[in-house]
Amino acid sequence: NCNNVDLNRNFNTKDWISHGIWEFGDQKITISGGKNPLSEPETRALVNFIDKNNIKIVFDFHNRVGTVLATGDKLGKEIAKIYCKSSGYKDITGTEWQNTGWIKNYLEEKDITYVEIETLKRWGSDWERNKEALIKSLEYIKTI
């Protein structure tokens, strides 16, 4: 954001630190997690929305990798499997990451299912691929 804080490292988690770590594969980059957890208005707004609306599942879209990463609960694993089958993305659920202050960690601590979709394109859209996968995931959720 405009304060040079990585908003995805600004959540009030057990592992939050002011200089968070962004990790993907062998790559580890130190980034700002903010002056304190929830120091940023964007993060506070999202947390307030989740808390006030009794959210049970969060789909979080990122870009450029073609992977799905979900929480390790039964629902998260099943949604990841369905999403990957439909989209062709790789399921990396269960991979260990050192991403401090991360929304995934925050949601896991609150027993909320989290599904992070890393789409294939940085610019432009692979919406049709994701639309079908999202529809199939939501159809599954409706059955439980």
pLDDT digits (tens, 9 = 90+) for 33-85: 999 999 999 999 999 999 999 999 999 998 888 999 999 999 999 999 999 99
Cα distances from 33 to residues 6, 12, 40, 115, in angstroms, run 6, 10, 10, 21
Separation CA 113–CA 71 (nearest Å):
6
Contact 140, 77 (CB under 8 A): no
Q: How many CA atoms lie within 13 A of 91 on its CB side?
A: 17
% the chain with pLDDT above 90: 76
